Structure 1
Amino acid sequence: MAYELYYWDGIQGRGEFVRLALEEAGADYVDVTRDQRRGTGAMFEIMESESEPHLPFAPPFLKDGGLIIPHVANILFYLGPKLGLAPEDDGLRHVVNGLQLTITDFVAEAHDTHHPIDLSLYYEDQKAEAKARSAAFIRDRIPKFLDYFERVLQQNPKGSNHMVGDALTYVDLSIFQVIEGLTYAFPKSMAKCRAKYPGLLALHDAVAQRPNIARYLASPRRLAFNEQGIFRHYPELDSAE
């Protein structure tokens, strides 16, 4: 039975972290809201159900048979062993999960650069605040997170080809997506700091060259970044200073 992924249509968003794992593993899955026969209505049918005992609060969520798993890190923690994208050691699985949860924090901060006050307001309604928030994110938070991830990678006892252990895990795929998103949203700022993170950039490039990922990136299933998703490019928010 195919996995069912539920997320907003038209954007990569948080659902992309799950898609990358499914694509890398060659898993059988359905991107439900992109299915013209089912669409977004199928997602709301579950979220607004009056009988579903385990309601998800928001997408993305994954349906595996009768089981519904919400939240990116939780989904990947569930899928990782099934897809061969998690360490066999149970302790290291929790290390990978911890890194994924840190990525969750990072992604939330990236999102808040363009929505710093109110999620219900348009970006245009909070541009001044977004500019201030983005300046702080670029100055302080991008280095804070990327320095940490680079250090974790370089201190991996099994070598710096992977974040944890000596084989690909879902957190490697997620690091790829974070670098992709930041480069799209803040190209000038990321160009300036690239030399500081040789390990992360090498990991990013290695992931991009994996056969299943390369095929996915070249396919129409990989939607382009746009200004409706988490990582948005507004030139006025980017700075190489």
Structure 2
Amino acid sequence: MAYELYYWDGLQGRGEFVRLALEEAQADYVDVTRGPEQDGLGTGAMMALLDSRSEPHPPYAPPFLKDGDLIVPQTANILFYLGPKLGLAPKDEGLRYVANGLQLTIADLVTEAHDTHHPISGNLYYEDQKDEAKARASDFIQHRIPKFMHYFERVLLQNPDGHKRHMVGDALSYVDLSMFQIVEGLRYAFPKATKHFADHYPHVVALHDAVAKRPNIAAYAASGRRIPFNESGIFRHYPELDKAVR
């Protein structure tokens, strides 16, 4: 049976980290909310599971993955589950926990990126918190991006098996794919701030470039399956929040 991925239609968001793994592995999957309602798909199918009173362990929010009767929620948890099945996790069990820790750190960065445009509440429009967003984005650009990215750069350099090409282990993993998405998202949201990324974080950018050239990822990026970044997702480009850094 095909994997069923549940995430909001029209958004890359957190679901994109899972899509990249499924696409790289050429796994059989259904992006449920993008399918027709008459086939039992669409947003209604996702909401039915979220609101279910019969499902013993309903997910709190998307993304979540359905594999047969099993429902796996949360991006990092989904990738921890899928990684070994798709050949995108280290064979060593201990390193699988290292990979999961890195993915959780990536999740922290994603949350902070989201909070640059919604620093007060996700229930308010961006326009209702623009001043606060400017302050939050400034701190994110000046302090938080460098803190995260220097860490990821150091992980690449210190991975004893990765030859500066992989975040964990000696082969491509879902963490490498997620780092590709992080660079893509930050470049979209903050083009001025990330203009010199290759100078500051050369190994992270080299990893991004290597993933972009992988045949399955390149084909996915060129297809209609890859939803473009937009101002409804996590990584949003508001020019007033972006500024150049040295």
Q: Using the TM superposition, give the Cα deviation of residue 36 of structure 1 relative to its aligned residue in structure 2, in angstroms.
A: 1.5
Gaps (5+ residues) in structure 2? none
Instruction: Give the alignment partner of residue 189 of structure 2, picking from 181, 185, 194.
Output: 185
Letter in 1 for 2:30: V
The alignment status of 1:201 with 2:205, answered yes or no, reads yes
Aligned residues: 241
Partner of 1:69 in structure 2? 72
Alignment of 1:88-99 (within 5 A): 88-99=91-102
Letter in 2 for 1:138: I
Q: TM-score when scaled to structure 2?
A: 0.97
Q: Using the TM superposition, give the Cα deviation of residue 193 of structure 1 relative to its aligned residue in structure 2, in angstroms.
A: 3.8
Q: Deviations over 1:106-139 (max 9, x none)?
A: 0000000000001100000000000000000000
The alignment status of 1:150 with 2:150, answered yes or no, reads no
Distance 1:223 1:47 in 2: 23
Contact map agreement 2:90 2:173 (CA 8 A) in 1: yes
Q: Using the TM superposition, give the Cα deviation of residue 194 of structure 1 relative to its aligned residue in structure 2, in angstroms.
A: 3.0
Q: Deviations over 1:71-108 (max 9, x none)?
A: 00000000000000000100000000000000000000
Contact map agreement 2:3 2:28 (CA 8 A) in 1: yes
Distance 1:47 1:123 in 2: 26
Distance 1:21 1:7 in 2: 15
Alignment of 1:1-241 (within 5 A): 1-37=1-37, 38-158=41-161, 159-241=163-245
Distance 2:5 2:57 in 1: 16
Distance 1:40 1:181 in 2: 24
Spell out structure 1 runs of 4+ moving beyond 6 A: none
Contact map agreement 1:192 1:240 (CA 8 A) in 2: no
Gaps (5+ residues) in structure 1? none
Distance 1:173 1:193 in 2: 18
Percent identity for Structure 1 against Structure 2:
73
Distance 1:231 1:165 in 2: 28
Please tell me the root mean square deviation across aligned C-alpha atoms, in Å: 0.6
Q: TM-score when scaled to structure 1?
A: 0.99
Q: In terms of mean alpha carbon deviation, does 131-140 or 189-198 score higher?
A: 189-198
